[in-house]
Structure 1
Amino acid sequence: MTTAHDTADRDILAIARDKVLGRGEGLNQEETLRVLQLGDDRLEELLGLAHEVRLKWCGEEVEVEGIISLKTGGCPEDCHFCSQSGLFESPVRSAWLDIPALVEAAKQTAKTGATEFCIVAAVKGPDEKLLSQLEQAVAAIKAEVDIQVAASVGILTQEQVDRLAAAGVHRYNHNLETSRSFFPNVVTTHSWETRRETLRMVKEAGMEVCSGGILGMGETLEQRAEFAADLAALEPDEVPMNFLDPRPGTPFADYEVMETADALRAIGAFRLALPKTILRFAGGRELTLGDLGAEQGLLGGINAIIVGNYLTTLGRPQEQDLEMMGKLRLPIKALNATV
């Protein structure tokens, strides 16, 4: 009989090999913390195990997604990392895209082999004008482009959730951003619980749930492990992994960029906590990881990637990411595999 003391004495990667790789069960919060506390001398071993887990429980394909902002800037919320907040002196001007521009962006995204196209708006939640435009945009894109359409337009009511589901939105993104305990250090104009409630309604409506956050905002390793456990409890279809890219004019403008080894350790730990979930490289990876670190991440648990630019920061040219996946012999997920 194995006791709690025996488990505590066992090497955490040995535990993970049995529990996660062998049985497909994610590590709990305490176990995830032990992974995050591993030294740099164990990093290669961790990433190797995380890649094995990813291959066994998710397959070898990489899901590619493009994103575009329907409404940029002027958001009334005070998310301390975000230059789209109208409360900060940040160099992002408010702007709207029309439906033809969204359709054209979806076409260009599809040409990369992407299966997902996400429409994002910098709002607390959609008003009638925005929601109506989004419904029309989804219909127009579906009529002309063979691609799944995702959306991210903030906090929703039940009626709004139902309308987006009826419009054919495939996946809804609403990041928890960080752990419940650290959230008040990041946002004060709404609560973590409010975000969680939107995700509950989205899931019950039958849309896929996409929820992740940003690492490197000053959270402790304990809070990073708590965040992984919060996400695991949510059972999301996808978790975007962003790394803080300090933006001028925001409260986090002077924060240091997360160390590459810490970011890779987090990727491995989140894969072991979420063995069957899509883990997507998102914002900040270029600054935090560089080319070599990005390759290590794709061979260390990541199985999805955003190509091109993000909402307020530049990404890499799409061709570079596609070339990188080719170099690593990672196949791009076909659209018919997502339907």
Structure 2
Amino acid sequence: MTVTVESADPAAGNSTAEDGAATVDILAVAREQVLEQGRGLDEAQVLAVLEMPDERLEELLALAHEVRQRWCGPEVEVEGIVSVKTGGCPEDCHFCSQSGRFPTPVRAAWLDIPSLVEAAKETAATGASEFCIVAAVRGPDERLMAQMREGVAAIKAAVEINVAASLGMLTQQQVDELAEMGVHRYNHNLETARSYFPNVVTTHTWEERWETLTMVRDAGMEVCCGGIVGMGETRPQRAEFAAQLAELEPDEVPLNFLNPRPGTPFGDREPLEGREALRTIAAFRLALPRTILRYAGGREITLGDLGTEQGLLGGINAVIVGNYLTTLGRPATADLELLDRLSMPVKALSATL
């Protein structure tokens, strides 16, 4: 893919003068701007990457891997997640089987504290440095906050692992309480571009999510924010989303790929094509050169084993191991064996503190 720019400066990349303008190779631009200078691509540049032809995909992935190695290092951060409250959510996120508004097989359930601690121990045993507690709620009520207080304290007393949380939208008081508990990182996904969000969720706004993320960052917790690719958004909207994430400057971006769930409004959509998923991974790495870019839900059906390896060699530097909230993932041993074969060390707990 080539983009037209106003300057014919050969230093910007391979170029040819045409009527006072120049046609520039976007990968040459990315090599100088991102790899050498550490400045992420902007929205228009990300779109140019997303529109590159398949025959240049291998070259794109190789550059994204170089960027990841240069600005993040060779380590891969491993995380496990567990749902403390599953199903019965009042929101209408069209991709989610945990919404109480859709006729899905998922039913509301709560996890007790001993089970939560055991899940944290099992996660730590894989070598993971992060354990994320997730709840299917609009935002936490006092019952959930009390369970978080008890659960985080019990985990910290039993096992050495960073505790993260994903509990929906927060008030300032709840943000402060979570920070005081010692929650290391808070996940709240923007899910998609601001322009496409009303097609995905109608019971709350993109701006409400942004407000929670801003409060979390200001409180000193790490910000984890990503979304789902393949929900019907256009390539320009994916580029818009990458630019909006870059503006937020999250510590971590989990990239999910739509796994259509029965009973949801998106249940009949086709999974994203594998090459498109890999192209998106590389584009997001070039937009976010210093950010933890994590494989999350849907990679198994979108990419399979070979694609999973290609993504790790195309910009990904973190994985969720084991199962997701309501869907099965790859066995943790399969991911850990793959990392070992690729000579990618698992990031130690001390490196995340």
Which category describes the TM-score, using the shorter chain as reference length? over 0.9
- Tell me how far apart the structure 2 counterparts of residues 5 and 95 of structure 1 sit (CA, whole Å): 59
Matched, 1:108 2:131: no
Instruction: Render the CA deviation track for 1:60-106: whole Å, top value 9, x for unaligned.
Output: 00000000000000000000000000000011011000111100000
Q: 1:167 corresponds to which residue?
A: 181
Instruction: Render the CA deviation track for 1:218-244: whole Å, top value 9, x for unaligned.
Output: 000000000000100000000000000
What amino acid is aligned across from residue 35 of structure 2 in structure 1?
L
Q: 1:330 corresponds to which residue?
A: 344
Q: 2:83 corresponds to which residue?
A: 69
- Tell me how far apart the structure 2 counterparts of residues 201 and 9 of structure 1 sit (CA, whole Å): 42
Matched, 1:135 2:149: yes
Q: 2:305 corresponds to which residue?
A: 291
- Tell me how far apart the structure 1 counterparts of residues 200 and 331 of structure 2 sit (CA, whole Å): 30
- Tell me how far apart the structure 2 counterparts of residues 241 and 305 of structure 1 sit (CA, whole Å): 10
Give 1:232's match in structure 2, choosing from 234, 246, 254: 246
Matched, 1:49 2:56: no
Q: 2:6 corresponds to which residue?
A: 4
Give 2:39's match in structure 1, choosing from 25, 28, 39: 25
Gaps of 5+ in 1: none
Give 1:39's match in structure 2, choosing from 53, 63, 70: 53
Instruction: Render the CA deviation track for 1:261-309: whole Å, top value 9, x for unaligned.
Output: 0000000000000000000000000000000000000000000000000
Q: 1:123 corresponds to which residue?
A: 137
Q: What pairs with 1:70-219 in structure 2 (closer than 5 Å)?
A: 70-219=84-233
- Tell me how far apart the structure 1 counterparts of residues 291 and 84 of structure 2 sit (CA, whole Å): 27
Structure 1 stretches of 4+ moved >2 Å: 2-8
What amino acid is aligned across from residue 122 of structure 2 in structure 1?
Q
Matched, 1:279 2:311: no
Q: 2:18 corresponds to which residue?
A: none
- Tell me how far apart the structure 2 counterparts of residues 182 and 170 of structure 1 sit (CA, whole Å): 30
CA root-mean-square deviation: 1.0
Identity over aligned pairs, percent: 72
TM-score under structure 1 length normalisation? 0.99
Give 1:320's match in structure 2, choosing from 321, 324, 334: 334
What is the aligned length?
A: 338
| Secondary structure of 1:120's aligned partner | strand
What amino acid is aligned across from residue 277 of structure 2 in structure 1?
A
Q: CA deviation at 1:9?
A: 1.6
- Tell me how far apart the structure 2 counterparts of residues 207 and 145 of structure 1 sit (CA, whole Å): 20
Larger Rg: 2
| Secondary structure of 1:146's aligned partner | coil
- Tell me how far apart the structure 1 counterparts of residues 327 and 315 of structure 2 sit (CA, whole Å): 24
What amino acid is aligned across from residue 129 of structure 1 in structure 2?
R
Gaps of 5+ in 2: 13-21
| Secondary structure of 2:319's aligned partner | strand
Q: CA deviation at 1:4?
A: 3.0
- Tell me how far apart the structure 2 counterparts of residues 119 and 162 of structure 1 sit (CA, whole Å): 17
Give 1:303's match in structure 2, choosing from 296, 304, 317: 317
CA contact (8 A) 2:43 2:243 kept: yes
- Tell me how far apart the structure 2 counterparts of residues 86 and 292 of structure 1 sit (CA, whole Å): 36
Q: CA deviation at 1:3?
A: 6.2
TM-score under structure 2 length normalisation? 0.95
Matched, 1:242 2:256: yes
Instruction: Render the CA deviation track for 1:188-231: whole Å, top value 9, x for unaligned.
Output: 00000000000000000000000000000000000000000010
What amino acid is aligned across from residue 306 of structure 2 in structure 1?
L
What amino acid is aligned across from residue 15 of structure 1 in structure 2?
V
